[in-house]
Structure 1
Amino acid sequence: MSFLQIDKVCKSFGPINVLRDISLDVEEGGFLVLVGPSGCGKSTLLNTIAGLEKLTTGEIRIEGNVIDDLEPADRNIAMVFQSYALYPNMNVGQNIAFGLEMRGMPKDERDAKVAEVAKTLQIEHLLDRKPGQLSGGQRQRVAMGRALVRNPKLFLFDEPLSNLDAKLRVDMRTEIKRMHQTFGSTIVYVTHDQIEAMTLGTRIAVLKDGIVQQYGTPAEIYNDPSNMFVADFMGSPAMNLIPATVRGHAIEMSRAGDDPLVLSFDALPVTVSARNGQDVIVGIRPEAITDAAGRGGEKSIQATCRIDVVEPAGADIYAITTLGGKEVVTRLHQDWSGSANQAADLLFNLEKIVFFDPQSGERLR
């Protein structure tokens, strides 16, 4: 049985349907990330789990028990907010211990638990400081410590890193990952940042307009997107989505200043080959288009393309060409010696190409 079950959940505010028939299962110790653009319903879903919003229809269960009618304080859930929500008049130790004190835990037990959590989060030296004396990253650790010390059944994180600068976000991602591995906690985490989603989650639910577009592991979401929205939203840079035409066992894409680029396959998916002479959208990640020096895969085709822009990125070089009338990002080795406004030989990994319907945006399999 799944630890957390979200079963056909709907939530409406008046005539506006914010969540639409959402069903998700999370195993004990799992790390579910809810990701999507602003307004997609991810924070509302988190609030229904916490009990801060009542469901319109559907059920939420923890360990098989329906929690919909329980007050937030009775759900044994800890929530870490974007704003940290620390008490400014209390020091760090008091902030961490506050929930335990409200539950009547004796002081010696509280102190022992606070010391244990503070050691794990490496904030022992901060216990006597007030929140106003802390950096953003330190405050986030305190908020995490306040949640951890309660040993709840479920942790909820609502965009906890969005107020931090870029480097600190990376550092705190590592801290949250380490916390999950150390404590084996079950976590539901909301973010609009797909990098956070890919690096943290054991499972990812991609939401748009209150509907789950795809639910799966990070690898499934990245390599096997169910529609064009998921393909475009997940990945940095995003998946290239290129208009093309089916020609028998091949696909044909217009190429700036040259004949069309034809990629021939041993076999196309049945739903694609059935569209002979019709248009499809070709999806291919930047790393599946590389320079001829390598990384192409066993089933690769080399083609010459004009490079429009070159963007060095340290370990790699991103080069932009134009196919099907769209800008296409390629990922080349750092020692690639080409330059902009010149032709270059590129390898297209056919094993990494997926296809979508141009009208519906749904995957063609």
Structure 2
Amino acid sequence: MAFLEISGLKKRFGSLEILKGIDLDLEKGGFLVLVGPSGCGKSTLLNTIAGLESITEGDIRVDGRSIADLHPSKRDIAMVFQSYALYPNMTVAGNISFGMEMRGVPVEERNKAIDKVAKVLQIGHLLNRKPSQLSGGQRQRVAMGRALVRDPKLFLFDEPLSNLDAKLRVDMRIEIKRLHQATGTTIVYVTHDQIEAMTLATKIAVMRDGEVQQFGTPAEIYNNPANMFVADFMGSPAMNLLAGTIEKGAAGLTVSLARPHGEPVRLPVTAGNGALEAHAGREIVFGIRPEALTDPDGADRNAKALAESDCLIEVVEPAGSDTFAVTKLGGKEVVARLRADARIQPGQSARLAFNLDKAVFFDPQSQTRIA
């Protein structure tokens, strides 16, 4: 049985439907990330779990018990906000223990709890400081400590890293990952950053316009996107999505990709891909991630289906550990991810290897996955 179950959940504000029937589940100790663009409903969904927003239809169950009609204080849920929400006149220790003090927890027990979370979060040396004396990352640790000390059934994080600079975001991401591994807590985490989603989650729900576009493990979301929105949203750089045509010949199916000059690039479709048979002679959208399009020497030697083609390179972007090259196929710019020392120059033709094991195909009208 799932620890957190969300079934048929809808939320309306007047005639405006914000959540349109959400179904999700999470195992105990799991880390669910709700990801999607601004306005997709992810924070509203988090607020319904916390009890800060009522639900219009559906149910939310935690550990087999419905919490949909419970007051927030009765749900045994702790929330970490984007704004930290620390009391400026209290010390770090005071902020962490304030909730316990209000509940009448004895001083000795409070001090033990403070010491425990301070050790986990490595903030023992900050306990006597005020929030104004802390960095952004330290304040976020204190906010997490205040939630941890309650030992709730469920933790909710609402874009906790969005106020931090890029390097600190990476550091805090590692801290949250370490915290989850050390404590085994069950977490629901909201972000618009797909890198955070991929690195933190055991399960990801990709949301758009109040609906879940796909729900699965990070590997499932990344390697087998259900539609073009998920394919484009998850990944940095994004998946290349190119207009193509499925052609059927004596040797089997190929996908034909137009290029500005010369004959189209024709790539063999993996044998046994029956789902594409019905699309022979029709336009499709061909998806391939930048790391599956590389220089031949850097191609995955374990790939079962590799194809090579000469492509005119328009832009070269050295990025330290990788080199990115931009060419044009299927009427769009295509990003290839090459080795750092790949010998490639803009304005010249270069041989590129397509790992067709990693290719996906979409219907251009419905934008859903074909194969």
TM-score with structure 1 length normalisation?
0.99
The question of whether the paired residues in 1 share the 8 Å contact of 2:270 and 2:357 is answered with no
Deviation at 1:294, TM superposition (A): 2.6
The question of whether the paired residues in 1 share the 8 Å contact of 2:270 and 2:356 is answered with no
Alignment match, 2:221: 221
* Alignment counterpart, residue 269 of structure 1, candidates 260, 270, 273: 273
Structure 1, unpaired ranges of 5+: none
Deviation at 1:292, TM superposition (A): 1.1
Cα distance in 2 between the residues matched to 1:163 and 1:264: 47
Deviates more, 1:31-40 or 1:335-344: 335-344
Alignment match, 1:283: 287
- What per-residue deviation string (whole Å, max 9, x for no partner) do you get for residues 8-65 of structure 1? 1000111111001101000000000000000000000000000000000000000110
Deviation at 1:266, TM superposition (A): 4.4
1:306 aligns with 2:312: yes
Cα distance in 1 between the residues matched to 2:78 and 2:284: 46
Deviation at 1:4, TM superposition (A): 0.4
Cα distance in 1 between the residues matched to 2:294 and 2:73: 53
The question of whether the paired residues in 1 share the 8 Å contact of 2:33 and 2:201 is answered with yes
Cα distance in 1 between the residues matched to 2:160 and 2:77: 16
Matched letter for residue 64 of structure 2: G
Q: How does 1:199-210 map to 2 (within 5 A)?
A: 199-210=199-210
- What per-residue deviation string (whole Å, max 9, x for no partner) do you get for residues 64-84 of structure 1? 100011111110100000000
Cα distance in 1 between the residues matched to 2:368 and 2:257: 20
Alignment match, 2:7: 7
1:238 aligns with 2:242: no
SS in structure 1 at match of 2:299 = coil
Structure 2, unpaired ranges of 5+: none
Deviation at 1:269, TM superposition (A): 2.9
Alignment match, 1:251: 255
1:129 aligns with 2:129: yes
The question of whether the paired residues in 2 share the 8 Å contact of 1:206 and 1:230 is answered with yes
Matched letter for residue 310 of structure 1: V
Cα distance in 2 between the residues matched to 1:227 and 1:68: 31
Cα distance in 1 between the residues matched to 2:159 and 2:272: 41
Alignment match, 1:352: 358
Cα distance in 2 between the residues matched to 1:353 and 1:102: 57
Deviation at 1:236, TM superposition (A): 0.2
SS in structure 2 at match of 1:214 = strand
Alignment match, 1:329: 335
SS in structure 1 at match of 2:264 = strand
SS in structure 2 at match of 1:364 = coil
Cα distance in 2 between the residues matched to 1:116 and 1:9: 37
The question of whether the paired residues in 2 share the 8 Å contact of 1:256 and 1:306 is answered with no
* Alignment counterpart, residue 347 of structure 2, candidates 335, 341, 344: 341
Alignment match, 1:112: 112
Alignment match, 1:292: 296
Deviation at 1:245, TM superposition (A): 0.4
- What per-residue deviation string (whole Å, max 9, x for no partner) do you get for residues 156-215 of structure 1? 000000000000000000000000000000000000000000000000000000000000
SS in structure 2 at match of 1:258 = coil
- When residues 251 and 52 of structure 1 are mapped into structure 2, their CA distance, relative to the original with a 3 A threshold, is same
Alignment match, 2:182: 182
Cα distance in 2 between the residues matched to 1:230 and 1:88: 41
The question of whether the paired residues in 2 share the 8 Å contact of 1:2 and 1:27 is answered with yes
* Number of equivalences: 365
Cα distance in 2 between the residues matched to 1:265 and 1:22: 35
Deviation at 1:275, TM superposition (A): 1.4
Deviation at 1:233, TM superposition (A): 0.1
Cα distance in 2 between the residues matched to 1:157 and 1:342: 48
The question of whether the paired residues in 2 share the 8 Å contact of 1:3 and 1:63 is answered with yes
Cα distance in 2 between the residues matched to 1:268 and 1:350: 13
Alignment match, 1:196: 196
Deviation at 1:118, TM superposition (A): 0.5
The question of whether the paired residues in 2 share the 8 Å contact of 1:269 and 1:364 is answered with no
Cα distance in 2 between the residues matched to 1:4 and 1:201: 15
Cα distance in 1 between the residues matched to 2:281 and 2:5: 45
Deviation at 1:268, TM superposition (A): 5.7
TM-score with structure 2 length normalisation?
0.97
Alignment match, 1:164: 164
Cα distance in 2 between the residues matched to 1:7 and 1:106: 39
The question of whether the paired residues in 1 share the 8 Å contact of 2:29 and 2:184 is answered with yes
CA RMSD of superposed structures (Å): 0.8
Matched letter for residue 16 of structure 1: L
Deviation at 1:298, TM superposition (A): 3.0
Cα distance in 1 between the residues matched to 2:19 and 2:167: 33
- What per-residue deviation string (whole Å, max 9, x for no partner) do you get for residues 218-272 of structure 1? 0000000000000000000000000000101101000121210000134263332
- What per-residue deviation string (whole Å, max 9, x for no partner) do you get for residues 311-335 of structure 1? 1111111101100110011000001
Deviation at 1:120, TM superposition (A): 1.1
SS in structure 2 at match of 1:360 = coil
The question of whether the paired residues in 1 share the 8 Å contact of 2:298 and 2:338 is answered with no
- What per-residue deviation string (whole Å, max 9, x for no partner) do you get for residues 312-363 of structure 1? 1111111011001100110000010111111000000111100000011000
